[in-house]
Chain A
Amino acid sequence: MFRDLDLDLHAGELAVLTGPSGSGRTSALLALAGRFRTSHGSLEPAARPALGLVRGVHEPDPMLTVAEHLGERLRLHRPLGWPTRSRRRAHRGLVARHAATLPVAPELLAGELDPLHRHLLMLRLALLADPDLIAIDDVDAGLTIDESVTLWAHLRGLADLGVAVLATAREVHHDLPDLTLELPK
């Protein structure tokens, strides 16, 4: 899938993997996030890796709304308990607070979101795990230039919060990433 990859990533850094189709960008991304089996080499994995949008691995369910995605992820990170009225109210409050950080209506179905908002939703979900690494795939796929800029800025902001951010892209035209690694075909 991929070979000869050497990357040293720290908290607060934004790294980008680039390469042509079939160069194993997604596999490498997942491997570096500790989410893909490697046959050779060593990895010092992140303690709490999280994934942003990775097509086929970590993507929103088109039949669920934004709020439902948030609610589901919030429940996963919370201890089990009977859904008492107070718990449900607290839960709804949390969902609303996280939904407010997104530029889309919470009742919108994920299938109706454009690629940028899908990325933003998945990043929001990743953040709920309180990660030390966020891996995101195909940052520039299907985005307009404006949207791409917005998303890169968002990633930079995440890194600035003290999270290591690892992204893949077809190409990078700006200096936002701290390091860029091109995978051979």
Chain B
Amino acid sequence: MSELRRMRRHRLTRAALVVLTLVPLLYGALYLAAFWDPYGNLKRIPVALVLEDQPTGDVHAGQDLADRLIDRQVFGWVRTDRAAAEAGLADGSYDLVLRIPADFSSALVTPPAPETAARAGQLIVTSDDATNYLSGLLARSAFTEIRASAAAGVSATYFERMLIGFGDLKTQTGKAADGASQLADGTSRLRDGAGRLGSGASRAASGAGTLADGLADASDGAASLATGLATLEAGSAQLAEGADRAAAGGRRLAAMVDRAADATEPVLREHAGEIARAATAIADGADAVADHLDELPALAEVAVRRTGEVVSKLDAYADAHPDAAVDPVFIAARQAAADAAASALRLRTRADLGSLGDSLHRVAALARQVAEAAPRLADDIAAARAQVDQLAAGLTALSTGAHNLVEGTHTAATGARDLRGGLYRLATGARQLDGGLADLTDGTKQLATGLATLDDGARSLATGLADGAAQIPGYDVDGAAARAGVLADPVALQRDTKHAAASYGVGFAPYFLALALWVGCMVTYMLLRPLNRRNVMSGAPAWRVAFGGWLPGFTIGAAQAALLYAVLVGLLGLRPVHPVATLGFLLLTTAAFTSILQLIGARLGAAGRVVALVLLMLQLTSSGGTYPVATSPAFFRALHPFMPMTYVVDGLRHLLVGGSATVVWVGAGVLAAITVAAFALTTLTARRQRVLTPSALHPALTM
């Protein structure tokens, strides 16, 4: 504690104690104050906004976006043109440039054509690491801000698509190409199927034509059958009628014969002509019926055959076309055909035509015999009576048979009519089917042709999409990582960094180089006397004395700078764009810092070391070496142009990563001027210090 008591003895040492307690505060509080909220102060970062967008129709997305960005005031937007923006970015007036390209709106309205550049419709954010490294990082914030602004608008989805849709487009195009090739496969299979369908349909059409022809024949046959059966019916009806009359006549005859048997021959003689006529009529009728009956079996046979054919054809058709089998028209036709076939069968079985014909012939023969015998009846009554009785019984049987025939023929005729109607409907249906199948064949041919075209189109679509997908950058193996980067950081798509710093380290190298050189010079003048009192008192020219104090400091500083630079280049891999100029600039920086610290040390002595520390802090916080100084509070922004480190950082940035030479020359000029000015002041100090003061003779504080 006696050490502290010693310090309280003197006013200067008391002040030193106070300053000592303040040093950590300077470092901690000052630094934190400067970089308290850089992102909250983005609105002070000058960003050039270049609106080149040409409105398309009533879409003026560029103007809308610009208005919204300016309204939101997240950055210090400055509307300017492209040339001014580029120049401003190069000389550091702007930290970023946001360019809304001319085709921004049109790209939103129309999807990009394959032959247009894939970047169409994108916003371009340009930063320059030579101006400020963190501005490049702020471009990320800018992107966020643009996204936010865009999202605030009605066309949010547009911007979404436009800004990040590029990676998606890639994926979607790939998917589309896959889909298109699948489509092409499908269409080629479909085309094959359509070809098969076409050939099947033409086979079906020819089959349907045959069916229609056959059905037409069947229908004709059925019609003639129906006609024949109708004739037969009429004939059999007449026969029945005749048979009835014959039976009645037979009975009357029998009665008359019976009565005649009782009566005398004259009666028979009287009625002989009548008997002969009746018998002849009977014979004629029976013959006619028998003639018709001969045709009937043939007709019935034909009907059976035809209807059978129809049924089997329809069944075959139904097997070939299952879907036709459920068609009501077809079913009705099939039913009618079956009914007709059944009727035809029944007709064939029912008409016991042989016996009927025989009995008819017998009747006719008997009737003729009767007719022949009639004149002789009177002569042979006993024989006649038995014959007449026999005739009457035969006639009665005939009548019953004829009635059966009529009934059967009627059923057959009805069946034939039904058959004819059904076959007609069936033939009509078959004709319609034939027509439909012809249409179907034409249609399938057209379908096949169309599918061939479609297949070609799908193939060229698949090829085109695959080509397009290949042309969209980032699908090759080499670009996979880049693509991943693009998807992860969409702003990289638009972010165009001029004089890009290779890494964080390169971006911050100017700042830390400046810091290191300052600390180096500071420590140098803690060890070296800024001005040697013996030399000050020597009477030698003051500038010479000052130079004698400066040169050793500069020599050490130059060694420090060269060593530092060698380590950065050799071990850390710093690759300055202008290596020699960088070293020169570092040496100039060392000269400036040396002369400043010499001046501070010479003028302020021990207190100068604290001042040097404070100056270091002020420069670190206001040189814009990390965040753009615009993001710092006003105090630091005010200091910014007056701090040597500002020019060191700017110049080194442009030398390390390239960029405007003007900035370097300005920096070099400022540093040279600082060197000269500080040296001149040191010279003055040396001259003044030849005249001692009591405090200089007996200093209270030495560090």
A residues bordering B, Cβ < 8 Å? Answer: 1, 26-27, 30, 34-37, 48-51, 54, 56-61, 72-73, 75-77, 80, 125-126, 128-129, 131
User: Contact: B537 with A76, CB < 8 Å?
Assistant: no
Bound form: Cα–Cα A30–B691 in Å: 8
- In order of increasing CB-CB distance, the 6 nearest A-B pairs are A76-B540, A129-B539, A58-B537, A36-B692, A50-B539, A51-B537
Contact of B538 among A36, A56, A125 (CB under 8 A): A125
On chain B, the residues within 8 Å of A36 by CB distance are 691-693, 697
**CB-based A-B contact count at 8 angstroms:** 65
Contacts of B134 in A (CB 8 A): none
**Is B547 in the interface zone, CB < 8 Å from A?**
yes
Q: How far is the CA of A21 from the CA of B547 in the complex (A)?
A: 37
| 12 A–B contacts from the bound complex (CB under 8 Å) | A1-B694, A34-B691, A35-B692, A36-B692, A37-B691, A37-B692, A72-B548, A76-B544, A80-B547, A126-B538, A129-B538, A129-B540
Since A60-B534, A73-B540, A76-B540 are in contact, a sample of 5 more A-B pairs with Cβ atoms closer than 8 Å, ordered by chain A residue number, is A34-B690, A36-B697, A61-B534, A72-B535, A73-B538
Asked whether any CB of chain A lies closer than 8 Å to the CB of B533, the reply is yes
The interface residues of chain B lying within 8 Å CB-to-CB of A80 are 544, 547
Q: Mark B513-542, 1 if CB is under 8 A from A, else 0.
A: 000000000000000000001110111110
Q: Per-position contact with A for B593-630: 1 when CB-CB < 8 Å, else 0?
A: 00000000000000000000000000000000000000
Cβ of A77 to closest chain B Cβ, rounded Å = 5
Contacts of B648 in A (CB 8 A): none
Shortest CB-to-CB span from B166 to chain A, Å, is 62
Q: Does B545 have its Cβ within 8 Å of any Cβ on chain A?
A: yes
Residue of A nearest to B698 (CB): A56
Nearest chain A CB to B693 CB, angstrom units: 5
A57→B533 CA distance, assembly (Å): 6
**How many Å lie between the Cα of A70 and that of B442 in the bound state?**
122
Chain A residue contacts of B538, Cβ below 8 A: 50-51, 58, 73, 76, 125-126, 128-129
Kindly state the separation between the CA atoms of A57 and B697 in the bound complex, as whole angstroms. Answer: 7
Most buried by A among B548, B690, B697: B697
B539 touches A27 (CB 8 A): no
Known A30-B692, A35-B690, A129-B540: A76·B697 in contact at CB below 8 Å = no
Chain B residues 68-88 with CB under 8 Å of chain A are: none
Q: Which residues of B contact A49 (CB under 8 A)?
A: 539
Q: Could you tell me the distance between the alpha carbons of A55 and B690 in the complex, rounded to whole angstroms? A: 15
How far apart are the CA atoms of A59 and B534 in the complex, in Å?
Answer: 6
> A26 to B533, Cβ gap below 8 A?
no
Among candidates A1, A50, A51, A76, residue contacting B545 with C-beta atoms closer than 8 Å: A76
Nearest-Cβ distance from residue B278 to partner chain A, whole angstroms: 177
Q: What's the least CB distance linking A5 to chain B, in Å?
A: 16
**Alpha-carbon distance A129/B541, docked complex (angstroms):** 10
Residue of A nearest to B535 (CB): A76
- Complex CA gap A116/B263 in Å reads 219
Residue pair B535, A35 in contact (C-beta under 8 Å) = no
Give Cα A60–Cα B532 distance, bound, in whole angstroms: 11
Output the nearest chain B residue to A36 by Cβ-Cβ distance.
B692
CB of A27 within 8 A of CB of B533, answer no
- Is B691 a contact partner of A26 (Cβ separation < 8 A)? no
CA gap between A169 and B693 in the complex, in Å:
22
Tell me the minimal C-beta distance from A137 to chain B in angstroms: 11
